[in-house]
Amino acid sequence: MSKRVKSALVWLKNILDSEHVEYQIVGGLAATIHGSLREIADIDLYIHNNDAHKILPHVAPFISKPLTHYVGYGWDLDYFQLIYNDQKIEIGLSENSKIQSANDGSWHDLKINFSQSNAIDYLGLRLPVMPIQQLVAYKKILAREVDLIDIRELGFN
């Protein structure tokens, strides 16, 4: 595991916890926490839409893409991107987020159920992580190459 990833996780977790922001780790990092071996490219997580204002002042110097509505490459959501010590972090707003099926182009609601997060110890941090079944289900819909790798490595062919 990269020191860069751990440093960014510690920094971000401290901000989120200090502001009492509920969040859920998703994407490649969630897959890694659940057992995938693929190298982590970025840290992906979701927060409640109404919590963005709590953390934006803390992360302002690190914003590489401002909070905006984004549609493309299989996603339809509000999000912002940070670069902290060369580590990319993408924070999505959970309400009204959608993902697009690679198979037929249909759009699916991405339901982030914070109360169902798995609290998992990773790199000395207790993190709320998307349950593996939900993670695999959304990765099967997106079906990008990285998703298919994670699905295989997690044993869900």
> Whole-angstrom Cα distance, residue 60 to residue 62?
5
In a domain, 79, yes or no: yes
Residue 143 lies in a domain: yes
Encoded tokens for 69: 């509505």
How does pLDDT run along the chain (157 residues), one tens digit per residue?
A: 579 999 999 999 999 999 999 999 999 999 999 999 988 989 999 999 999 999 999 999 999 999 999 999 899 999 999 999 999 999 999 999 999 999 999 999 999 999 999 999 999 999 999 999 999 999 999 999 999 999 999 999 7
**Residue range of the domain that includes 48:** 3-152
Q: How far apart are CA 74 and CA 69, in angstroms?
A: 13
Q: What is the pLDDT of residue 2?
A: 76
Give the pLDDT of residue 1.
52
Nearest to residue 61, comparing CAs of 79, 91, 46, 83?
83
Specify if 157 maps to a domain.
no
Percent helix / strand / coil, the chain, rounded to 5: 40, 35, 25
The CATH number for 25's domain is 3.30.460.40
Task: Give the total number of structural domains in the chain.
Answer: 1
In a domain, 104, yes or no: yes
Assigned domain for 36 exists? yes
Residue 139 within any structural domain of the chain: yes
Answer yes or no: is 13 within a domain.
Answer: yes
Per DSSP (E only), the strands in the chain are 23-26, 42-47, 63-72, 75-84, 87-93, 98-100, 107-109, 118-122, 125-129
Considering the domain boundaries, does residue 112 fall inside one?
A: yes
